[in-house]
Structure 1
Amino acid sequence: MRIKRSFGVFAALFVWVMLVGMGKGPGSDVPVPEISFNATVKDDQEITTKVTNASWEGNIFFIGNRGKGTVTVSFEKIKKITSTGTGNNNKSDFQVTMKSGDVVAISLENDQRFLGTTSYGTYRILAKNIKEISFE
């Protein structure tokens, strides 16, 4: 009886040690792009967040639709991007103001994410929750 109890305690301890050893600390699930862009994001609740290492799904450009076509717009050329409302087919419409002064309308997938790093951790926001992004 005593041996069975000792074996049970040992087995439980062994399983616990194995399960605890499998865990890992929080990782950076925000990719670090080759070029670091700084931006200020304003969400649909009017909360602003400053980020570094900004990316769109890990890329340093937005990829979206303009009419029936697909466009890519490099962060390097953008002054700000502003939401103009919900579009069709699970997309949100945005107005992209270029550093040159040109304005381009694009639609982005609602479930795509803008990513970055803050002074207190990582940052992720879905396109459908973005009100404005200003690039520095």
Structure 2
Amino acid sequence: MSARLPLPSRMLAGLGLLAFLGLAPALAVATGFGGDNPPSRIPIPAKDYSAKVEDQGGVVVEVDRVTWNGEVFLYGNVGAAQVTVPFDGIRTVEILPSTVQGKRKARVSLRTGESVEIQVNDDTPCYGRTKFGNYSIEAEEIRFVTFEERP
């Protein structure tokens, strides 16, 4: 004769299994098993910045709510140091190839007239919102970003 769980324990086990089966599809989508990961949601930035983003194919898109991986500053390395450059101080960013694997050079033109070159991860996403929907592009696919003047 096999041992059976008491009825309340069997019911709880069954409910646990149902809960798991109900959550499994949502967890699969949330962890990236849902395809190309379209930007159904974008980060809401602390400040609303607008920019024109040109991709490597020459397509220019006007984007607002621009963020760099959810942040309102560009970040990367200058030599051995980690740096951040707030969007308030950036006029343009040109993304160029790098000799370092997995990186890109970001040539940042500042509103002061100076410039700085930063090594950025080539898979860092730039997010935003367009007139036609949400926007997401990785650094390696960007050619040029021009930030709009802020009043």
For the criterion TM > 0.5, the same-fold answer is yes
CA shift, 1:44, in A, is 0.3
Q: 1:87 to 1:75 in 2, by over 3 A?
A: farther
1:74 matches 2:104: no
* 1:46 matches 2:58: yes
What CA distance in whole angstroms lies between the structure 1 residues aligned with 2:92 and 2:70?
18
Could you list the runs of 5+ residues in structure 1 that have no partner in the other structure? 1-18
Deviation at 1:27, TM superposition (A): 7.8
| Match among 67, 85, 101 for residue 55 of structure 1 | 67
Q: Which shifted more, 76-85 or 26-35?
A: 26-35
Aligned to 1:127: 139
Q: Residues 73-95 of structure 1: CA distance to partner in whole angstroms, max 9, x if unpaired?
A: 00000000002323403000111
Q: What is the TM-score of this pair, normalised by structure 1?
A: 0.79
CA contact (8 A) 1:96 1:103 kept: yes
Q: Would you say the 8 A contact 1:87–1:107 is kept in 2?
A: no
One of 81, 101, 109 as aligned partner of 1:97 = 109
* Residue in structure 2 matching 1:116, options 113, 120, 128: 128
TM-score scaled by length of structure 2: 0.71
How many residues are treated as equivalent by the alignment? 116
After TM superposition, what 4+ stretches of structure 1 lie above 6 angstroms from structure 2? none
Deviates more, 1:125-134 or 1:82-91: 82-91
